[in-house]
Chains A and B, each alone.
Chain A
């Protein structure tokens, strides 16, 4: 059986913390340790940041919706927006982090690495756009530690 709850915030950075507060409450139902919950929180925050910053271009007054789907086996989150769609190839191209070079500041930047962080924190990450609605879904198996 899947249990679902949906939350909507305004597309302002200061509202994203509200989603985190809800996530921590919901994760009390999962039995996940605090370190794993923090990884899911990081993935969700990065996805919400992308919706606010890139889909809506930093403009407030638009909805960012997060659906939480909980089954005994998996915890799935879907971050939805109606802003500018992302090129879905970006998700495929977001890979692992290379080693920065201490002597070369150009290699230190982590701008635009939110998708790579999301992929590293969750088991399955997918992106779809349909009828102007963009959906970044991510899920995590319950009952096992996520590989570092």
Chain B
């Protein structure tokens, strides 16, 4: 799993690439929690290059969202592919995560 991090106007944007599955969970959770801890708590997760995610991967998103909320921030999801979107809808978590198809709209949400 490849993780790329940049910051735009105090909002962290992290792009993940690969399969987000149990084998990757410890490393990805640690890095995302560190970004939330050190940043503003406002995080865009760009999942355009995540082709597959299991429930352990989804649990990482939930734990990062909880950490962001604890800082009065938020995590929003960007560019979901159909497979990942299907898992999120199956678990009803689209009612927790805001999901966007373009970065400008996601940034506007977090400003």
Q: Which of B52, B55, B59, B92 contacts A100 (CB 8 A)?
A: B92
Known A38-B86, A105-B66: A49·B95 in contact at CB below 8 Å: no
Which residues A16-59 have CB closer than 8 A to chain B? 16-17, 20, 35, 38-39, 41-42, 45-46, 49, 52-53
Q: Does B48 contact A (CB under 8 A)?
A: no
A108 & B65 in contact (Cβ 8 Å cutoff)? yes
Chain B interface, >50% SS class: helix
Task: For the complex, give the distance between the alpha carbons of A42 and B91 in Å.
Answer: 13
- Stretch of B6-14, B18-26, B36-44, B100-108 on the interface side: B18-26
Which residues A58-115 have CB closer than 8 A to chain B? 97-100, 102, 105, 108-111, 113-114
A100 & B95 in contact (Cβ 8 Å cutoff)? yes
B90 & A100 in contact (Cβ 8 Å cutoff)? no
Residue total for A at the interface (Cβ-Cβ under 8 A): 31
Q: Which of A52, A105, A117 contacts B91 (CB 8 A)?
A: A117
Task: For the complex, give the distance between the alpha carbons of A45 and B24 in Å.
Answer: 14
Q: Does A134 contact B (CB under 8 A)?
A: no
B91 & A113 in contact (Cβ 8 Å cutoff)? yes
Task: Give 17 pairs: A residue, B residue, CB < 8 Å, sorted on A.
Answer: A12-B23, A13-B22, A13-B23, A14-B23, A16-B23, A17-B21, A17-B23, A35-B86, A38-B52, A39-B86, A41-B52, A42-B52, A52-B22, A100-B95, A110-B93, A120-B90, A148-B86
A interface residue numbers (CB < 8 A to B): 12-14, 16-17, 20, 35, 38-39, 41-42, 45-46, 49, 52-53, 97-100, 102, 105, 108-111, 113-114, 117, 120, 148
| Smallest CB-CB A-B distances: 7 pairs | A13-B23, A14-B23, A13-B22, A38-B83, A97-B92, A45-B54, A108-B62
